[in-house]
Chain A
Amino acid sequence: MTKKITALFIALVLALSVCVTMAVSASAQTDVFIIDETADGKFYEEELSERNSQSVMLEENYGYTVMAVITEDTNGLSVAAYANMMYSSSTDSKNGIILVHDIANEDLEIRYIGKAAEIFDNETRETVLYAYGYTDTYNEGVEAFQLEIESVIENYPLSYEEEVYDSGETIGAVPEEESAEKSEESPLLLDLADLLSEKEQTDIEKKLKDFSKEQKMDLAIVTVDDLDGMSIEKYAATYYKSMGYGQDGALLVRYINKEKDEKEVYIYASGKAKEIFTEDFTQDVFDAMQEDVEAGKYASAFNTFIDKAAEGPKREINWMMLGVFVLVGMTIGLLIIVVIISKNKSIVRKNTASLYTRQGSMMLTGQNDTFVRSHVRKTPRPKNDDDDSSGGGRKM
């Protein structure tokens, strides 16, 4: 009897284990790395499944997320911005590669994120691009893309400890300090517009790192000569997110395009940095930087940016608000005193004799309620149109 119960128990445990394993396996299968957004579908189901499995394998073996998106509509975004958006909305992984092919505009973009940006040099990037282009079908193109990616990343596999996610969770046990260091992997200074000398870059990047470490928020600078068709605000937000900076941080974007004679500077702030980079303070920073920026002294301008960020906004006392606080305090104080003083008084005349009413003595001997008149008041109701919008216009 005991043996039967033991056998039954073991069978139950095994069955449960199988169910859990299948459930975990099924949930793993739900990751989608290959996305076909075209109306007619450029992949057969088996092809999609096969490509997806390949990406799953790449992620499991090397730690990189490899995505491909075939689309006909990038929602008005540039392909690069669309790639960033698709990547960040599909995965939390900080290291990966995404290919986006906008077949309506014949536009192709491959973005390298995190560690991938470091291991793919210009040569390997071109190889990947050509591998995708020189095929007959989309399935073959994505397969070639995945193979080329694999040929590079197999030499730079990420250990599980290196796979750090935005949420702060890690695959495997990673000490907190180690995790904090990982957020510093994204370069805090990227001089794509080539405005700084190497020494200036080194000095500023060190200063940015020191700031980020001390203030526990990322402070970054990027100089660009191309905004990928985006506004500088959108570019800054996209760049900040794609670089995997922390929840709290700020990014200075210096855009200068001499050919188009365009130049602009923008500060993007996230989390707690928003409290520092208020509208007024941001303008103060720009004022302080303006002279150096106009003189082309970018190192000095960026140092000013870092120094100002470290100082924080100078807060001035709002005397009128202080007056209001004092006035309200005095009013409350006065009320409290009046209440306290009133407790010192206890002599009160008794204007009724209810305490002396003989119990049950009250008796109604006559009562009469006569209707006299009535009148009705009519008030027009305010008209309430269904349209909630408001506004106005003038023909002139």
Chain B
Amino acid sequence: MAVVLNQKCPNCGGAVEFNPGTQNLKCPYCDTEFEVAAAQEETANVVEASNWSTQGSGWQEGEADNMVVYTCNSCGGEIVADSATGASTCPYCDSPVVMKGQFSGALRPDLVIPFKLDKKAAKEALKKHFKGKKFVPKGFFSENRIEEIKGIYVPYWLFTCDAYFEGSYQGEKVRRWSDSDYDYEETSIYDVYRSGNISFDNVPVDASVKMDDALMESLEPYNLSEGVDFNTAYLSGYLADKFDVSVEDSMPRANERIKNTADIEFKKTVKGYDSVSCIDSTIGIPNGFYKYALYPVWLLNISWNGKMYPFAMNGQTGQFVGDIPTNKKLAYLVGLGGGALAGIAAFLIAFFAGIV
């Protein structure tokens, strides 16, 4: 049985939430605010081990593998959640709950970047993101949906390495001249070799299966200098997932991005040629290590015509991304129809001006 933690207000006992504006914990019932460090001391006293265990024999084998049952410390309600869920809200009493077991021991994140922008800022950014966008299907965007935007800590693997690079290129120099009878073009071919070192710090790879990788990469960069040691208090009031993509499975993506960058940077050192093409390149990463981090993301999923459209905001920088669906029929009708009308208008102007 998982251990459930919810931060309680030392004043009134209500469930407290992390406040991005002050970077402190705040009680929504009595407005008491106190530092995250203070809450850490309290945590030791409020952690309770539950003896509840999963019962019943109705589950088929493997059926409940990705499900975990938690008990809310505020109301005692039972919460069934995804096995990766690390923080959530109790559906019965709306208290923020943190599944401490998800982040303990080897699963404890090395660092967390706390939310700097609150829900209000996220809603404003979402509205701004939609502002001026054309041909958005009617009803796709509504105030009701904005309310559904959720703050979530997304797990990331951060890779740091010193890489060794080797690249072979073919360089071409072209010289042209002429005499009275002929034009000459001399092409000289060169074998070019470059090797060297290049280092990378904290290349992030999204470690959550549920999060779209492209969406998460679109939110980069995060300012890691504002990252702090992990404390479950930061998760209070937000959703949080523990990683469900292993570091081994995340490495290829980090390697790919690192190699692409090295390719570009070392190719820049091949100078003095009219054209350069890469023949072969290899990268070795003898010294690499990784960290486990939680990054703040405001997330809204909008379902439209059977398809899910995710919108996300970097909870630290405010960078907002998300593909907005287009009413393509209407767009092409307007484009083609408007173009045809403009063409007729232009023709009539040219006709009466005597040009055609």
A312-344 contacts to B (CB < 8 Å): 315, 317-318, 321-322, 325-334, 336-338, 340-341, 343-344
Q: How far is the CB of A360 from chain B (nearest CB, A)?
A: 9
Contacting residues, chain B, for A380 (C-beta < 8 A): 181-183
Stretch touching chain A among B36-44, B113-121, B232-240, B338-346: B338-346
* Complex contact B196–A363 (CB within 8 A): yes
* Complex contact A344–B133 (CB within 8 A): yes
* Complex contact B186–A348 (CB within 8 A): no
Contacting residues, chain A, for B356 (C-beta < 8 A): 318, 321
Q: How far is the CB of B19 from chain A (nearest CB, A)?
A: 29
* Complex contact B200–A356 (CB within 8 A): yes
* Complex contact B196–A334 (CB within 8 A): no
B123-145 contacts to A (CB < 8 Å): 129, 133-136
Contact A346 to B343, CB < 8 A, known contacts A341-B328, A355-B220, A356-B203: no
**A369→B328 CA distance, assembly (Å):** 53
* Complex contact B261–A352 (CB within 8 A): yes
**A351→B178 CA distance, assembly (Å):** 45
Q: How far is the CB of A348 from chain B (nearest CB, A)?
A: 6
Pick from B220, B269, B343: contact of A326, CB under 8 Å:
B343
Contacting residues, chain B, for A373 (C-beta < 8 A): 188-189
Contacting residues, chain A, for B166 (C-beta < 8 A): 366
What does the 1/0 interface line of B192-214 toward A look like (CB < 8 Å)? 11111111111110000000111
* Complex contact A346–B135 (CB within 8 A): no
Residue of A nearest to B356 (CB): A321
Contacting residues, chain A, for B186 (C-beta < 8 A): 374-377
What does the 1/0 interface line of A346-381 toward B look like (CB < 8 Å)? 111111111111100111111111111111111111
Contacting residues, chain B, for A347 (C-beta < 8 A): 212, 214-215, 218, 321-323
Q: Is A394 an interface residue (CB 8 A)?
A: no
**A128→B216 CA distance, assembly (Å):** 105
Number of chain A residues close to chain B: CB under 8 A: 58
Q: Is A275 an interface residue (CB 8 A)?
A: yes
Contacting residues, chain B, for A374 (C-beta < 8 A): 186-189
* Complex contact A346–B323 (CB within 8 A): yes
**A318→B356 CA distance, assembly (Å):** 8
Pick from A333, A351, A377: contact of B336, CB under 8 Å:
A333
Q: Is A395 an interface residue (CB 8 A)?
A: no
**A325→B356 CA distance, assembly (Å):** 11
B41-76 contacts to A (CB < 8 Å): none
* Complex contact B261–A354 (CB within 8 A): yes
* Complex contact A350–B220 (CB within 8 A): yes
B286-342 contacts to A (CB < 8 Å): 320-326, 328, 331-332, 334-342
Contact A370 to B191, CB < 8 A, known contacts A353-B200, A358-B200: yes
Q: Is B28 an interface residue (CB 8 A)?
A: no
**A345→B325 CA distance, assembly (Å):** 8
Pick from B193, B217, B332: contact of A367, CB under 8 Å:
B193
Pick from B195, B203, B343: contact of A329, CB under 8 Å:
B343
Pick from A322, A340, A381: contact of B180, CB under 8 Å:
A381
* Complex contact A333–B339 (CB within 8 A): yes
Contacting residues, chain A, for B196 (C-beta < 8 A): 362-366
What does the 1/0 interface line of B257-275 toward A look like (CB < 8 Å)? 1101100111001000000
**A340→B327 CA distance, assembly (Å):** 12
* Complex contact A357–B193 (CB within 8 A): no
Contact A372 to B187, CB < 8 A, known contacts A322-B347, A344-B324, A378-B182: no
Chain B interface (Cβ < 8 Å from any Cβ of A): 129, 133-136, 162, 166, 171, 178, 180-204, 212-215, 217-218, 220-221, 254, 256-258, 260-261, 264-266, 269, 320-326, 328, 331-332, 334-344, 346-347, 350-351, 354, 356
The 5 closest A-B pairs by CB, nearest first: A333-B339, A329-B343, A337-B335, A361-B199, A366-B195
Given contacts A344-B134, A357-B265, 7 further A-B contacts (CB under 8 A): A329-B340, A352-B264, A353-B258, A365-B197, A372-B189, A376-B186, A377-B187
Chain A interface (Cβ < 8 Å from any Cβ of B): 275, 315, 317-318, 321-322, 325-334, 336-338, 340-341, 343-358, 361-381
